[in-house]
Amino acid sequence: MNDSLEWALEQDAADELAPLREEFLFPPATPLYFAGHSLGLQPRRAREYVLQELDDWARHGVEGHFSARHPWFSYHELLTAPTARLVGALPHEVVVMNTLSVNLHLLMVSFYRPHSGKHRILIERGAFPSDQYAVASQVRFHGYDPAEAVVESDEPLRDLKPDVALALIGNVNYLSGRAYDMPALVRAAHAQECIIGFDLAHGAGNLELALHEWRVDFAAWCNYKYLNAGPGGLGGVFIHERHAGEDLPRFEGWWGHDKAHRFEMAPKYSPIFGAEAWQLSNPPILQLAALRASMELFDRAGMPALRRKGERLTAYLEFVLRDICQVLTPPQRGSMLTVRFRWDATQLVGALRSHGAAVDLRPPDIVRITPMPLYNSFADVQRLGALLRDLHG
């Protein structure tokens, strides 16, 4: 590696994924955008796809459910195959619906079934606060005290004990960037007859995943970070096919009902086979349209190639920052680096923003930086390092 713009430009010239950069819109005020772990950039075609549905709404009204160019009745199915490829699943194991915390609650209704001697939920220490709130409210709902029933662990593999009914792990921790060994966690959980699910908010679109092969019980993620669905975009759900035929408790709604007979409005619920049975309501088409634009780019690139570039970009970022910050993220990671600078973090992030660079501050002194392989370049990384040295040389 070489900390020079010339070297970085040479890497970009040889990068087979470099053309994908032109498929995204960079904010004019922050052309050095390293905050995709918080909100991904807008794909250029997102506007086109959203406007297409607005046009069809104007042209067809209610008939757009079946007469639009992409009928709304089945629009979410346009995302099924790309989503399955993204997370290593079978098509009937995934669905795009709701938002992440909503989906986690719906999944815990089905998969957190505590009983005497096996009632605890295991999460990683420092899990995203919404996950902490969700599991605490679930255990209270079942009559347990979160202080006793929620186990926060620095090493979840070590703490998968017989009294754990459910493990819910962020496969990449939102703050430290640590990536957990998912196959090992699944094996350990199942050996204890424990259900295991994952929050993939920082994993989907970041790491290569094989949820079906690894026999993950369930997973949920948001699509607006690494997957560029737009602010508040819809989330994704995975449920392993072995659970599709089980008699699980589930909150039900009409969009999870047998789609061939959905509009017959029958009084008895007949679930779709697979993850779609967990749907409640018809999805917001405009959000699906924006996500569709991004998922086409993930299919175009493929996760193996994205991961290879992500590893190289992140290693280069670590290299250019090597003598000006402390890297807190361990080697087991995705594309995000969590760092601590010697300088005041609030002032630093503000100064970076005023000079056209977007990173992320977690008070009081944690800075998260992510070079996204879909749209960041080696030159971006080199320029960020040079800017940091100029600001605090």
The CATH number that applies at residue 11 is: 3.90.1150.10
Q: Which residue has the tokens 């408790």?
A: 249
Residues 257 and 336 in one domain: no
The rounded distance, in Å, linking the Cα atoms of 327 and 323 is 10
CB 75 within 8 A of CB 97: no
Instruction: For the chain, 393 residues long, give each residue's pLDDT as a single digit of tens.
Output: 999 999 999 999 999 999 999 999 999 999 999 999 999 999 999 999 999 999 999 999 999 999 999 999 999 999 999 999 999 999 999 999 999 999 999 999 999 999 999 999 999 999 999 999 999 999 999 999 999 999 999 999 999 999 999 999 999 999 999 999 999 999 999 999 999 999 999 999 999 999 999 999 999 999 999 999 999 999 999 999 999 988 899 999 999 999 999 988 889 999 999 999 999 999 999 999 999 999 999 999 999 999 999 999 999 999 999 999 999 999 999 999 999 998 999 999 999 999 999 999 999 999 999 999 999 999 999 999 999 999 986
Quick one: CA torsion of 142, 148, 152, 158, rounded to 10 degrees? -100
Round to whole Å and give the CA distance between 225 and 325.
25
378 in any annotated domain: yes
Residue 54 lies in a domain: no
- Domain count along the chain: 2
Q: Among 256, 277, 299, where does a domain finish?
A: 299
Residues 38 and 184 in one domain: no
Does residue 260 share a domain with residue 348? Answer: no
Domain range for 379: 5-44+302-391
Classify residue 32: in a domain, yes or no.
Answer: yes
Same domain, 86 and 229: yes
Of 269, 299, 329, at which residue does a domain stop? 299
In a domain, 237, yes or no: yes
Which residues are within 8 A (CB) of 283 and not within 5 positions of it... i.e. 6 or more apart?
A: 75, 76, 96, 97, 234, 255
Report which DSSP code applies to 199. E
Please indicate, yes or no, if residue 284 is contained in any of the structural domains.
Answer: yes
Residue 202 placed within a domain = yes
